[in-house]
Structure 1
Amino acid sequence: MMKNTVILILLLISGLLPAQENTVEILGKTNVNTFKCTNTSIAKPAGSFSSETKLPVLQLKVADFDCRNKMMTNDFRKILNSEQHPHFTVRFIEFKKNANSYYSAIVEVKILNRKRFYTVTFFENKNMLTGNETVRFSDFGIVPPTKMGGTIVVKDHLELTMKLKNL
């Protein structure tokens, strides 16, 4: 009886807590392994996906990314020079519906004061927009890092995944 009561309370509490609305993940590979750095501390951006005049801009704190490994998280922050460039941004330039739940967006990604434009396809499910795009370290003038005297080499390609509440 007590066990059922605890489970019921936990279910009620979890229903009251706000679900994580916005997430940005960066997935990369090395010649040995894969890594994923996630930022779930994204404030609700100003703007709306339904507004042609004021589309959202995501201001991402580099220090808020977590790679689930302290050393890797520190390396990630160092690669992105978080002390001199504490933020990077994803600015929506264009956002339009293609068909059913698919959207096409042109986004500007700014890292280390370098801007690159990408066309990203988003899919909407349960009022959440999910899109991913391949970016490269080299797009932003970053040489892919190596570790252990070059034994471990990080690949240039990264997958940038955005999961955003449809504003």
Structure 2
Amino acid sequence: MKNLFASLLFMICFQILSAQKSTQTETFLILPESELIIAGSTNVNKFDCKFNIDLISGYMTVEYAEESNCIRFSNLDLNLLTEGFDCGNKRMNSDFQHLLMSDKFPEIQIRISEIQLISDEYLKTFISVRLAGIEQNYDFPVLLGNNSFAGKFKLNIRDFGLEPPKKVLGLIEVDEIIEVRFKLMIERKY
């Protein structure tokens, strides 16, 4: 009887562990209607730097594992070329590239590691952002839509070793807090 119980317990544990570790793949397309914007402000005005989605649109295949109410990703990375951001004019683009140290660090990497279902409308997303050679972790809610994901989060550029620039003899100062807003439209490949 002891052996039967031990065997049954072993089989249950094995099934639970193998179910949790089972990796699946999904292929999807990031559609050109998607948006990714870095928004900031100065003591004088506000600015939006919009990313050229064509640089990341295309098919992506991701690996993931489902565990109770969350999904863990092993390779869901968005590599954003810093030169892909348009802030509205050449001078602002140049200043933005200089701020991000794009000559030394030409990419911003966003790694989505996990999502947790909060409700029928929201996910909690866990990401890491690698900017200027430094990585920071964030979590925030994401609104689920019909094949879309929308959200925003704030970060402090000083956390990445970046100094907010000052212009016009220090009269214009960029705020150290910026907001990343996105709406990713996707299409699954069947």
Give the TM-score range, shorter chain.
0.7 to 0.9
Name whichever structure is richer in strand by fraction.
2
Structure 1, unaligned runs of 5 or more: 1-17
Cα contact 1:23–1:42 (8 A) shared by 2:
no
Tell me the TM-score normalized by structure 1.
0.82
SS of match in other structure, 2:118: strand
Relative to structure 2, which stretch is displaced further, 107-116 or 74-83? 74-83
Counterpart residue number, 2:120: 100
Q: Give the CA RMSD over aligned residues.
A: 2.1
Cα distance change of structure 1 residues 107 and 139 upon mapping to structure 2, 3 Å threshold: same
- Which structure would you say has the larger Rg? 2
Counterpart residue number, 1:6: none
Cα contact 1:46–1:57 (8 A) shared by 2:
no
Question: How far apart in 2 are the matches of 1:112 and 1:27?
Answer: 18
- Cα shift readout 1:115-152 (whole Å, capped 9, x = no counterpart): 00000210012211011001011110111111011010
- Cα shift readout 1:4-31 (whole Å, capped 9, x = no counterpart): xxxxxxxxxxxxxx95243321000100
Q: Which one of the candidate residues 4, 18, 29 is aligned to 2:41? A: 29
Question: How far apart in 2 are the matches of 1:66 and 1:87?
Answer: 15
Question: How far apart in 1 are the matches of 2:121 and 2:31?
Answer: 22
- Cα shift readout 1:99-127 (whole Å, capped 9, x = no counterpart): 01100011000001100000021001221
Relative to structure 2, which stretch is displaced further, 128-137 or 40-49? 40-49
Question: How far apart in 2 are the matches of 1:151 and 1:120?
Answer: 34
Counterpart residue number, 2:129: 109
Structure 2, unaligned runs of 5 or more: 1-29
SS of match in other structure, 1:95: strand
Counterpart residue number, 1:47: 62
Cα contact 2:31–2:184 (8 A) shared by 1:
no
Counterpart residue number, 2:144: 124
Cα distance change of structure 1 residues 150 and 55 upon mapping to structure 2, 3 Å threshold: same
2:162 matches 1:150:
no
SS of match in other structure, 1:100: coil
The CA deviation at 1:164 is 1.5
Cα contact 2:32–2:57 (8 A) shared by 1:
no
2:122 matches 1:71:
no
| Partner amino acid, structure 1, of 2:57 | A
Cα contact 1:135–1:158 (8 A) shared by 2:
yes
Identity across aligned pairs (percent)?
Answer: 28
Cα contact 2:73–2:114 (8 A) shared by 1:
no
Cα contact 1:22–1:42 (8 A) shared by 2:
no
Query: How many residues were matched structurally?
Result: 150
